């Protein structure tokens, strides 16, 4: 898929949606779950994959920088780019729920392992990483639960638009 101006505009929109929705946070057990991961799914499905990765990583990473958690920005950029990569590779072909279940599992594993490794390095131990692992897994589930229906709906809309010419 060639990248054109429309793709760039969509990537900017998805980066903004990821950033904006990351600011929608629900406190859970001393941590928080945010809505930003929801738009990683449509970015992975509708954009050329490298551009979707940049949109997801940039949107989430900028929130870390501007909200006082800049230390997490490098981890966030890598984790979100890998999440979008996995979703894109698993779900671009039409398929059943098994592909989406795989994408959800991928998202959870990458989020838990990526942030866990980063927290373990920064805090010099795995106890802090293990403490936040359930919240990171929940983040992956929440993102998938809302992101998959939105991605599928937007793909249908995009297909209708292409069919109309």
Ordered by start, the domain boundaries in the chain are 5-164
pLDDT by 10s per residue, the chain, length 165:
688 999 999 999 999 999 999 999 999 988 889 999 999 999 999 999 999 999 999 999 999 999 999 999 999 999 999 999 999 999 887 666 788 899 999 999 999 999 999 999 998 788 988 998 999 999 999 999 999 999 999 989 988 877 776
pLDDT at 18: 98
Q: Confirm if 72 and 99 have CB atoms less than 8 A apart.
A: no
Fold classified for 5-164: Arp2/3 complex 21 kDa subunit ARPC3 (1.10.1760)
Q: How distant, in Å, are the alpha carbons of 58, 94, 96 from that of 99?
A: 25, 9, 6
pTM reported for the whole predicted model: 0.92
Q: How far apart are CA 14 and CA 42, in angstroms?
A: 8
Task: Report whether 51 contacts 72 (CB < 8 A).
Answer: no
Phi first, then psi: what are they for 157, rounded to 5°? -60, -45
């Amino acid at each position: 898929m060639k990248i054109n101006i429309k793709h760039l505009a969509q990537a900017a929109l998805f980066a903004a949606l990821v950033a904006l929705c990351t600011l929608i946070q629900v406190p859970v057990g001393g941590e928080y779950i945010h809505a930003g991961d929801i738009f990683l799914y449509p970015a992975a499905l509708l954009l050329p994959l490298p551009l979707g990765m940049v949109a997801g990583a940039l949107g989430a990473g900028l929130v870390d920088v501007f909200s006082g958690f800049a230390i997490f920005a490098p981890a966030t950029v890598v984790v979100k780019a890998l999440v979008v990569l996995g979703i894109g590779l698993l779900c671009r072909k039409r398929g059943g729920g098994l592909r989406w279940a795989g994408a959800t599992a991928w998202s959870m594993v990458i989020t838990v392992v990526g942030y866990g490794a980063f927290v373990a390095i920064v805090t010099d131990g795995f106890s802090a990483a293990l403490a936040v692992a359930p919240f990171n897994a929940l983040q992956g589930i929440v993102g998938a639960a809302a992101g998959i229906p939105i991605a599928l709906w937007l793909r249908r809309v995009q297909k209708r638009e292409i069919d109309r010419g």
